[in-house]
């Protein structure tokens, strides 16, 4: 049974560490994350306030009351929630740090693409460091909340997430990675006047648990935040 660690639990919130490969929504024959959490914690009343893609591991919030769900939903809509992601790519980016901005549109096979227009742009700030020869670690802070935003931003930089089934393709003769290397590292917000900051480092994947990754993470300066948690 895949563990789903509880990171925080109080009268308003439940924060868990979502494993990679677990779908957020259930499908016929496969239970979704919320159902799994309900069953394993015994908490029947849980409200989804945001989601993570199947490939993404990391910090996920669930509200325990309607009032908390409404307040968190408002905070997400008003962009008062900060999120940080970690990603590994085996492709050199067009630039090592900065901002990716552009409108997003549907592409093929359920994918999205970044456009040159900026009518209602998705904005992602990022920085990166070398992880190992041919590998780069990214820390990204999306300023907007669009479907696949972080994955599309990295694709637009020329550095798709290693192992991403939609936006990355293996080089000829290369070894298939053991997971898609995207992780929701942290989230910060205020709820009913109380600041909340939750970080959880990756726990799965050879590259996310090796000494080189830990060394790179200890020195990386994430956009608008120096990460020292975990």
Beta bridge partners of 89: 136
Say what the pLDDT of residue 108 is.
Answer: 87
Mean pLDDT of 58-84: 96
224 has pLDDT over 80: no
Say what the pLDDT of residue 228 is.
Answer: 36
The residue extents of the domains of the chain are: 6-219
The strand pair at 182-191 and 57-63 is best described as parallel
Say what the pLDDT of residue 1 is.
Answer: 72
pTM of this prediction? 0.94
Q: pLDDT tens across 124-151, in order?
A: 999 999 999 999 999 999 999 999 999 9
Residue 18 burial (CB < 10 Å; 0-12/13-18/19+)?
A: buried
Give the rounded percent of residues in the chain with a pLDDT score beyond 90. Answer: 87
**59-73, 74-88, 180-194, 216-230: range with lowest mean pLDDT:** 216-230
Question: Domain 6-219 is of which CATH architecture?
Answer: 2-Layer Sandwich (3.30)
The one catalytic residue among 53, 90, 178, 229:
53
Give CA–CA dist 17/14, Å, rounded: 10
Say what the pLDDT of residue 223 is.
Answer: 65
* Residue 53 annotated as catalytic: yes
């Amino acid at each position: 049974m895949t563990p789903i660690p509880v990171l925080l639990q109080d009268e308003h919130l439940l924060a868990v560490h979502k494993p990679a490969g677990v779908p957020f929504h259930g499908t016929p024959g496969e239970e979704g994350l919320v159902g799994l959490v309900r069953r394993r914690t015994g908490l029947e009343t849980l409200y989804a306030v945001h989601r993570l893609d199947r490939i993404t591991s990391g910090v996920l919030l669930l509200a325990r009351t309607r009032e908390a769900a409404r307040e968190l939903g408002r905070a997400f809509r008003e962009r008062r929630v900060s999120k940080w992601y970690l990603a590994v790519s085996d492709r050199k980016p067009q630039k090592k740090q900065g901002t990716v901005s552009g409108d997003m549109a549907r592409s093929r096979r359920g994918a999205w693409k970044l456009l040159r227009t900026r009518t209602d742009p998705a904005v992602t700030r990022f920085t990166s460091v070398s992880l190992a020869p041919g590998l780069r670690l990214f820390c990204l802070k999306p300023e907007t909340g669009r479907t696949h935003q972080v994955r599309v931003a990295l694709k637009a930089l020329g550095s798709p997430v290693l192992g991403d089934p939609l936006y990355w393709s293996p080089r000829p003769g290369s070894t298939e990675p053991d997971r898609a290397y995207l992780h929701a590292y942290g989230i910060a917000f205020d709820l009913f006047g109380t600041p909340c900051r939750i970080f959880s480092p990756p726990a799965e994947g050879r590259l996310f648990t090796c000494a080189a990754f830990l060394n790179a993470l200890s020195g990386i300066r994430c956009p608008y935040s120096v990460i020292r948690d975990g």
